[in-house]
Amino acid sequence: MADTTHAGGQAVAPDSPIFKGAVARGLEWVIVPAVLLVIIGSFHLHIMLTIGDWDFWLDWKDRQWWVTVSPVLTITYCAALHYILWEHFRLPFGATFAITTLLLGEWIVRFLGWHMWSHYPVNLVTPATFFASALALDAILLLTGSWVITGLFGGIIFGVLFFPNNWAWLAAYHVPIEMNGQVMTLADYIGFTNVRAGTPEYIRIIERGTLRTFGQHSTIVSAFFSGFLSIFVYYMWWFIGKIFSNVSYIKSGY
Amino acid sequence: MKTLLRMSVGLGIALATLAGTMSIAFAHGEKAQEPFLRMRTIQWFDVQWSKETLAVNETMSMSGKFKVSPRSSWPQATATPKLAFINVSIPGPVFHRLGSWSNGTSMMNSTSFELGKVYDFKVDLMGRYPGKWHMHAMLNIKDAGPVIGPGKFITVTGSHADFLHEVKTLTNETVNVDTYGFANNIFWHAVWALFGAAWLVFWLVRPLFFSRYRMVEAGRGNELNSRFDKLVGFCVLVGAIVLTVVGYVQAEARWPVTLPLQSALASVEPLDMKTNQVKIKLKRAEYRVPGREMAMIIEATNNSNQPVRLGEFATATVRFINPEVGSQGTEGYPDYLLAENGLTASDNSPIQPGETRIFQVNAQDAAFETERLSSLIFDPDSAFGGLLYFYGADGERMLSDIGGTLVPVFVNSDGKDLGQIN
């Protein structure tokens, strides 16, 4: 049976309430929702301020920019939560937890705010999903127990899985239509027809950039490039997670 | 404590009362734009709305013309319309935009407009949400922002539940633009959310923090995750990849013909419209603050082949009409932007072909205040811009650019003429 009366070589009083399962569990059920709310707020804000437009609009989800920047900016919180939950608790669900909070916040805002309040159709403001990437990242951490390997292989997979994960629902909007003599996708038309006074067409950062040498396969190149960048971002934010979980400034009463 | 409680309740009631008396702001935010931006960039004219009331699913058009101010008038602080987009200012998608054109060219993409040239525009719209909506013509200019034209209230009647906007794809499918793909979106997001939730629940149902922390601190973190946990992890990894592939393959099978997003630029030629047939030189312009009056001394040279008279001065969508001459297109123009007796000229007699005349023009109306144009005097570049409309004997309209320094007069000048007229 595991020795739970010693921690770091120092004895802990056996009758300390911290040992009692119900108290500990009760506290955990206070901590989890509180952390959930904090992460919903801060991660959602982080995403909106960085890749917000690509994540928001159907007619911004292109093969280059969206595919590249979305995983890179999303693996940030996943990595930070990986550090906090793995290093201290050996819990491998940090990435999925982060993505769940993000999508919860996004769907609340998109559906209640943009659809119910501002009358935009849900298909224009559907957020991207990152679950496949996050689940794979968590699983690799659990299986390898190594942040280095997780960053390396998990980072690549995080980037590469993003586009195919979303294509399942996005493909329907890339069927071609002809409108007023112009050929475009249904996504372009849905973006055009739903008037956004503050989002003129030229502001879309889509399909800009060359990648000419790759013919029409810019999606695959963007996905792997995104995976490559995600490796470094994972490592960087692993250490940011370390800095933000530092409690040495709190004086302990024990 | 009781006092504090009473004060808090009183404050709460006061705030609630105040909130209840506030009216909803749903129009005229364009007044917040700086006057120099509205007066010296895009000169809108002949703007019309084909209907003022329509039902959900009915269509209407907003059309007109605009003259891009010449280089001499265009403000230095504002980017030129090398990249611009013809837009509509409405409160969200209460209308669906069916198409927009300029000089017959589809303007679904952005384009470039030349300084000093005239373009026409037309936007077709379909009523979507019932209500009374303020609709402006608008041009978005990259690095400058929106330049808003005249606006009018349009009423949409009926029920949104009846709204139907369908298009036919090139793959021969008729789709409802508002609802297409919604079920599929929700399905795939729900599937992945359930997968993610199951993974989270797998860990959340067991002790999370305290006992695990002690184990890790005791150097026994390796014992926390069992072989079964790792087997589940492996299944999650494989499952995530397999489900992704399944989703991708079924999408490719269901929609085999897809295009990337289109990021083209449109190209449009300006209208072949003569302007500045009456050449204008501004001698001096003053804005008299107490009288809400702009007074200009202008030198006008008639280079056309018929006598002309000054009918109108237009700036920032406000139209000052000379009642002795009149002007075209005032029917249906928004009342709050129309000063029907707002323009006077010191000499209203026709200017003969070839004649050069110096005379004074006064534009006076409360619109200078209500449209917040008077705050131009506090802009970093105290200059104005606008259009003068001259009319020939046969009714031909001739537009001329006018603009230049505007000197504010803060003391009542007793209505004296400006300077010397020679």
Statement to judge: residues B335 and B368 lie in one domain = yes
Give me the domains of chain A, ranges plus CATH numbers: 17-244 (1.20.1450.10)
Q: Provide the domain limits for residue B371.
A: 278-409
State the DSSP string of B322-373: -TTT--SS-TTS-GGGEETT-EEES--SPBPTT-EEEEEEEEE-THHHHTT-
Q: Give pLDDT tens digits for B293-312.
A: 999 999 999 999 999 999 99
> Is the domain of B91 the same as that of B152?
yes
Q: How many folded domains does chain B comprise? A: 3
**A75-89, A197-211, A214-228 — which one is most confidently predicted on average?**
A75-89
Q: What pLDDT is stored for residue B6 in this prediction?
A: 75
DSSP per residue, B361-384: EEEE-THHHHTT-GGGGGSSS-EE
Interface test with A, best of B62, B108, B229 (most A CBs within 10 A): B108
Closest Cα in chain B to A167: B248
Q: Exposure of B420 by Cβ count < 10 A (0-12 exposed, 13-18 middle, 19+ buried)?
A: exposed
CA A76 to chain B, closest CA, distance in angstroms equals 18
Per the CB < 8 Å rule, is B108 touching A97? no
Cβ-based contacts of B80 with chain A (< 8 Å) = none
Same domain, B197 and B159: no
Joined together, the tokens standing for residue B85 give 């987009």
Q: Are residues B147 and B207 in the same domain?
A: no
Residue B421 lies in a domain: no
pLDDT at B257: 96
Higher per-residue pLDDT: A7 or A131: A131
Same domain, B63 and B161: yes
How open is the CA angle B219-B224-B225, to the nearest 5 degrees? 135
Q: What is the mean pLDDT of residues B335-357?
A: 94
Least confident segment among A116-130, A189-203, B405-419: B405-419
Q: Among B254, B270, B286, where does a domain finish?
A: B254
Whether residue B124 is found in the same domain as residue B146: yes
Tell me the chain A residues in contact with residue B258 when contact means C-beta distances shorter than 8 Å. Answer: 171, 174-176, 185
Over residues B202-253, the pLDDT tens digits come to 999 988 888 899 899 899 999 999 999 999 999 999 999 999 999 999 999 9
- Report yes or no on B2 lying in a domain: no
Note whether residue B193 is domain-resident: yes
Residues B39 and B152 in one domain: yes
Query: Does B420 reside within a domain?
Result: no
- On whether both B181 and B157 belong to a single domain, the answer is no
In the block, residue with structure tokens 């794809």: B169
Look at A137-141, A181-185, B7-11 and tell me which has the smallest mean pLDDT.
B7-11
In a domain, B89, yes or no: yes
Same domain, B245 and B315: no
Could you tell me if the ipTM is greater than 0.95?
A: no
pLDDT score recorded for residue A16: 58
Kindly state whether residue B307 falls inside one of the protein's structural domains.
Answer: yes
Residues B236 and B359 in one domain: no
| Distance between CA atoms of residues B215 and B219, nearest Å | 6
Residue B146 lies in a domain: yes
Q: Distance, in angstroms, between A221 CA and closest chain B CA?
A: 15
Closest residue on chain A to B206 (Cα): A25
Whether residue B241 and residue A180 make contact (CB cut-off 8 A), yes or no, is no
Same domain, B38 and B157: yes
pLDDT for B56-104, tens place per residue? Answer: 999 999 999 999 999 999 998 899 999 999 999 999 999 999 999 999 9
> For residue B78, what is the domain's CATH number?
2.60.120.570
B230 plus B300 within the same structural domain: no
